[in-house]
């Protein structure tokens, strides 16, 4: 099946520092990946669409300078939370369309829990 991994699974950082989260498609190629943010007991909110070889597309209200996205290869997208503050603490989840054989289906990573002190 199509597997998506995320690293790290959890991270604690000090306010003002930057944190990078990796999203990898392990056994398939993904020209597109999606980044979501989930607050406790709430739904997933799409933050941005990561496109391999081009700029990410951000949803309305998401600061592109705050949440830097780089889709470096067909299997890797990274989300960097710059100058993190406590309000950035959240659960970040990435996903990718499964590709050939898995049309119409997205596969989700296990998520990264970010805590900013």
Partner 1 sequence: AQSVTQLDSQVPVFEEAPVELRCNYSSSVSVYLFWYVQYPNQGLQLLLKYLSGSTLVKGINGFEAEFNKSQTSFHLRKPSVHISDTAEYFCAVSEDGGGNKLTFGTGTQLKVEL
Q: Tell the smallest beta-carbon distance from residue 82 to partner 1 (Å).
A: 24
Question: What CA–CA distance (Å, rounded) separates 114 from 117?
Answer: 10
3-state DSSP call for residue 81? strand
Whichever of 75 and 97 has its CB closer to partner 1, that residue is 97
Q: Does 62 interact with partner 1 (rule: CB under 8 A)?
A: no
- Judged on CB neighbours under 10 Å (0-12, 13-18, 19+), 41 is exposed
Q: Does 93 interact with partner 1 (rule: CB under 8 A)?
A: yes
Residues at the contact surface with partner 1, assessed by CB under 8 A? 4, 6, 32, 34, 41-46, 49, 91, 93, 95, 97-98, 103-111, 113
């Amino acid at each position: 099946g199509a597997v998506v991994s995320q690293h790290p699974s959890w991270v604690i950082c000090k306010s003002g520092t930057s944190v990078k989260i990796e999203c990898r498609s392990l056994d398939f190629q993904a020209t597109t990946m999606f980044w979501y943010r989930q607050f406790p007991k709430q739904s997933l909110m799409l933050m941005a669409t990561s496109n391999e070889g081009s700029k990410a597309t951000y949803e309305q209200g998401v600061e592109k300078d705050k949440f830097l996205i780089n889709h470096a290869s067909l299997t890797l997208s990274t989300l960097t939370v710059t100058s993190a503050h406590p309000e950035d603490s959240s659960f970040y989840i990435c996903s990718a369309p499964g590709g050939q054989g898995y049309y119409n289906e997205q596969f989700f990573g296990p998520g990264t829990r970010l805590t900013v002190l």
